[in-house]
Structure 1
Amino acid sequence: MFKDSVVVVTGGAQGIGKGIVLAYARHGAKVVIADLNDGLGQQLEQDMLAQGYAVLFVQTDVTKEQDIVQLMQRAVEQYGTIHILINNAGQFQHISPYDVTFEEWNHLLHTNLTSAFFCAREAAKVMRHNVKGGSIVSLASTRAEMSEPNTEAYAATKGGIVALTHALARSLGPDQITVNCISPGWIETGDYEALRPVDHVQHLSGRVGVPEDIAQACLYLTNPVNHFVTGINLTVDGGMTKKMMYEE
């Protein structure tokens, strides 16, 4: 399905990003793993190369424009072009609105939202020269629509991703570049076996999600046969946001 496609995944060395990297590699793609964590990134690259996958790790700080530019340049130098970008890099912040500093707010904004725009911009400069354009998917969150206390900065960045998605879809559409986002719900990246029955039953699907669930959504949105799908926010949460709180 994705044989010889070139895919760039930010935040790709761990968690959801790692699941996305593995999914594309298993489908024959050439994957560029971007992550700030050099140790995890190099280890994943080595492990995947040993299994015969085509991968390249590029240590990247997505809060720095020059790092983003160099990431896309390295991808083109290694594989010739870019077909798919997955904007997955991000951080969570849980600080009272009375206490959050200007620097903390701006750091999260740059990490989660500003980086998504500049990664999209630099990747699109390459994609627009492809015969069939390309695809961009950014990771938003169900927290763009619902919140718990003291998560204002995180919610704002994820709401921004949703708005950025349809704006970029409009601007990049003429270059045959689709732009979509995914809003994951509860995706467990740690010890899945430690979850309780009460955790699973909060979901209409009867279970908490795993990184592979988000990877499958990425594969759908970036498959060229689904080129008609653009500008959307796809919620992948096992139906959790549709379950009423006071439901028996």
Structure 2
Amino acid sequence: MTLAYNKEGSGDRTVLCITGLNGHAGFWTNFRKALAETCTVISFDQRGCGDNRDVAGEHTLAEIVADTIDVLDAAGVDNAIVVGHSMGGVITQYLALDHPERVRAAVFSGTFCVFDWYMENTNNLRQALLDKVGTEACAQFSAVMAMPGGNVMDERYNLHDRIVNVSSKAPDDVIMARMRAPYGFDRRAELPRIGIPSLVIGASDDLLAPLYQSKIIAEMIPGAQLEVIDGGHFFVNTRPETYLEKVGAFILSQPVD
């Protein structure tokens, strides 16, 4: 079954944007619209989320990878420049390693290459809040983790509204399954096999996918470019101009389709 997807722009470079835990293509709206002025941009809501909320699934990494390939097939795209944020960056690693013919270049954005003790403990706490306290508490804690207090007065963090106006992005069972998906993930030893142009971009104040993860990815992928900004875990949207400048320049440096 092919998921509903978005396709904007008509540029010679095709870019696929893959969202993280919340699974909603809306995460990319501003970036997608700006990039669509020069590129063809594809994004999609993942199973159980948004326009695909009613599509049942197991919500595993393998399933998301398969769905991503199905979206490319449905869009008639042989290969694309793939931009994956957070867990979407994990999916990008799977694509680059297991389906290299589908990826022309890759952007590993605010992501991780190993679900280590730090990430497990953080995620365990979020799952406990979801299971024992409820959706609101889990979402509020996640917002605080995503938007660290050092920049709490930055209006683009919108932390106050994120805490006060909590809304469910997906049913609780879907959120819980997606939270469990990356446990055991560790493909560090395989990263040197990635032979495509790669940009790794991370935030110095990201508490959900800490910068050390981005540094490991950049060190292990031959020729990878590392960019460090700030903006918390959602720096795609808290630092939109900087993100578009750095990621857009990398994308436009790639040969046309």
TM-score, normalised to structure 2's length? Answer: 0.45
**Relative CO higher for 1 or 2, CA cutoff 8 Å, sep ≥ 6?**
2
Greater C-alpha Rg: 1
TM-score, normalised to structure 1's length? Answer: 0.46
